Amino acid sequence: MNRFPGMLLWMVLAIGIHVLLPHVAWSDESKGQERLAYYELTRIRSLSKPGITYHEYRDALVRPREYVGLLTDGSSETVGLLRKAMGYYDQALDIWGLEAVSDFPVDSLRTDEPHGAAILKECPNISRFHYKERDQIYVLDAVDCLWNKAADVLGRVPADLH
C-alpha cells in the first residue's frame, strides 16, 4: 500500500519531464531563431537604398531568407510578421529584377499586368503615369514602396525581439 503514492509520484515526474521540459527548451530555441531572423531583416532595412545595387541587395537577402525559412512556429504572430516582411523584400527583388537583370529590361510596369497589379494592391497610393493609353508605375518606386511596407511590418514586431 505504501508503494502506490511513491509510484504515482514517479510517474507524474517522468511524464512532466518528457512533456513539459522539451516544450520549454523548444520555446527558447524558437525565440532565438526569431531574434536571428529579425536581426537579419532589420539589417536589410538599414542598407542604404540609393546606394545599393540590385546584385548587392540580392546577395544581402540570402541569410535573412535562410533564417526566416527556419522559423517553425507558424501560428505565432511574430513569425507571421517576419515572414510577411521577408515576402515584401522578396517581391521587391523580383520587381527590381525586371529592370536590372531581365533580357528585356523595363523601367516601368503596366498596372494592368500581373506585377503592376500586385504593386497597386500593396501600394495603392503609388505615383502613376500615363503612357500609350495605359497607367504605369516606375519599377524603383515600386521597390521603394515594398521596402517601406517591410519596414512598417518590422516596426510591429514585439519589442522583446529588439
Q: Quickly state the pLDDT bin for 117 (edges 50, 70, 90).
A: very high
- Cβ burial of 144 (10 Å; 0-12, 13-18, 19+) is middle
Is residue 97 within 8 A of residue 54, CB to CB? The reply is yes
pTM over the 0.75 mark: yes
Query: Pairing mode, if any, of strands 129-131 and 108-110?
Result: unpaired
Q: Does 133 or 86 have the greater pLDDT score?
A: 86
Per-residue pLDDT tens for 53-95?
899 999 999 999 999 998 876 668 899 999 999 999 999 999 9
Is residue 115 within 8 A of residue 138, CB to CB? The reply is no
Tell me what the mean pLDDT of segment 19-48 comes to: 73
Cell of 51: 546606394
Q: Quickly state the pLDDT bin for 14 (edges 50, 70, 90).
A: low
pLDDT at 144: 92
End-to-end CA distance of the chain: 56
pLDDT at 136: 93
pLDDT at 118: 93
